[in-house]
Chain A
Amino acid sequence: MKLVVAIIKPFKLDEVREALATLGVQGMTVTEVKGFGRQKGQTEIYRGAEYSTNMVPKIKVEVATTDALAGRVVEAIQQAANTGAIGDGKIFVLEIGQAVRIRTGETDDVAL
């Protein structure tokens, strides 16, 4: 089992969700996050005062998937979230030790 963690541009969330749904992904977890990478932040100006914020708002998508599907999930996110500009984000793939469905107690692949 793999956990695919993607940091994407907020406005790309819907496209990513649709792409994953087409693959048959059953669920995902979405969090609003802030951070920075090569895209160094934004400048905000309020009347005269200029602030450069070095943290940019992003969306973190977490998808737990079977080993078989993981590669296609990563590919789907990479294509859906791509704009070609810096700040498109990153995808990380982690190993999952165990998964449990709370309602039934089912474990691992069946629980995903």
Chain B
Amino acid sequence: MKLLNKIALGAVVLGGAALIAEPAWAQQAAAAAAKSPIPPPTVDKGDTAWMLVSTLLVLMMSVPGLALFYGGLVRTKNMLSVLTQVLMIVCMVGVIWVTWGYSEAFTAGNPFFGGFSKALLMGVDANSQAASFSNGVYIPEYAFICFQMTFAMITPALFVGSVAERVKFSPLMLFVALWVTFVYFPIAHMVWYWDGPDSVAQAALQGQAALDAVNSHGGYLFQKGALDFAGGTVVHINAGITGLVMCLMLGKRIGFPKEPMPPHSLTMTMIGASLLWVGWFGFNAGSNLESNGVTGVAFINTMVATAAAGLSWLLTEQIVRGKPSLLGAASGVVAGLVAVTPASGWAGPMGSVVLGLMVSPICFFFVAYVKSKFGYDDSLDVFGVHCIGGITGALMTGILDAPWLGGQGIPDYSTKPGTLIAGSYDMVGQLWIQFQGVVVTLLWSGIGAAILFFIIDKVWGMRVSAEVELEGLDIAEHGERAYHY
């Protein structure tokens, strides 16, 4: 009964749309709709509820998760500066997102930038729908806007870790506002924007010309076929390379690396890392945009890759240093989460275990050896964990997605519209595409960040004075102290 209702409703909707367009086509369109293999557009309450919960989980990753993770890693005198930076970035980007960010990232434009047709969320209301990755499955557009908003919030909050303990607050906020506009939104558009599975399937029924037209609406990297399930390129490589550029341009902290700058509370870092892990299920499993089997795939992958990475970081430390540390375990957990992000909905669980086991030694090598070898002061290892972990994950996605390695393959919306059958898989070709995705992100983000940083630094100055840095940013910049013992 319920199913019949849905089908009838879908036929009415499609028929109605055709009627408005041209009465003469109405008969044909109605006939086509009746035998179309594409299910009618449906919004499911379970999907909607899951997406709203996922949105909150991702918000929890930023505040308090990331804030505490980073806050615990700085010295007592700079605790509040990091918390304030993360919290304010979340607030500011939220406002920017609904003002122009969403439109710039998720409306049709050119392959690099979206348009401004939904600026100020024009035309979006409670009935608007956003496509998922299954034919006929939609979620309320407001839920999609909020979910993606939390991604835009956390990404710039990630790179404050590289410039912690010496960056000036207000210029940093201006940098973030410009950075999301010229770096984050375009990269999100390049990687994630497309017309949706129904448009592709519909076009496929009409022939190659229509299919090409629909495909050409997608973002630059989407058109190439780059796979990034939840933001390995968009979030982690992006934030990681910007972090490296910023810390190189800002310079080392006074006293680095001679003076001890130990974390002031690894307890908080542990709490933060744990909140990140829990929240990451919203990030990765939520990125499926609906609640189904693939959501379960992303969920289990997020669980096991992270566990494997925490384990392998500790084993690496045990072998190299002889002492397994909590900070190492927490770093491994985050590295695993980063690496599995692009692969979460594509790899299989055992592939994810392999990914987790391999990412930690690579990241460990960067934070323990490469950083000291080159002497850059990436205070909280944004580059070493997020960029390197993200690159590892993005490239490995191309390998682990292969069905013969337990991966999911790539759903083909065009050859058998509406059936979601995986097409053939070309591992070498996909790896090459993944590589291009990594390089484009590194260049766009790295160069974009360098230009923005250079301008703001010349005009305003990105770095606090030596006195402020020595006294601590909490008292000098914010007029308060974290602890009154």
Contacts and interface: CB of A to CB of B under 8 A. Distances in A.
A110 interface: no
B325 interface: yes
Interface stretch (B58-66, B212-220, B363-371): B363-371
Interface stretch (A5-13, A17-25, A45-53, A60-68): A45-53
B327 A46 contact: yes
B372 A48 contact: yes
Interface in B371-420: 371-372, 381
Contacts of A95: none
Contacts of B369: 48
Given A45-B321, A45-B325, A46-B327, A51 B262 contact: yes
B272 to A, nearest CB: 15
A45 B266 CA distance: 12
A48 B327 contact: no
A44 B367 contact: no
Interface residues of B, number: 17
B260 interface: yes
Contacts of A44: 260, 262
Interface string B258-294: 0011110000000000000000000000000000000
B105 to A, nearest CB: 33
Contacts of B257: 49
Contacts of A53: 260
Interface string A12-48: 0000000000000000000000000000000011111
B148 interface: no
B6 interface: no
B331 interface: yes
Contacts of A47: 327-328, 331, 367-368, 381
28 contacts: A44-B260, A44-B262, A45-B321, A45-B323, A45-B325, A46-B262, A46-B263, A46-B325, A46-B327, A47-B327, A47-B328, A47-B331, A47-B367, A47-B368, A47-B381, A48-B367, A48-B368, A48-B369, A48-B371, A48-B372, A49-B257, A49-B261, A49-B262, A49-B372, A51-B260, A51-B261, A51-B262, A53-B260
Interface of B: 257, 260-263, 321, 323, 325, 327-328, 331, 367-369, 371-372, 381
Given A47-B381, A51-B260, A51-B261, 6 more contacts: A44-B260, A46-B262, A47-B328, A48-B368, A49-B262, A49-B372
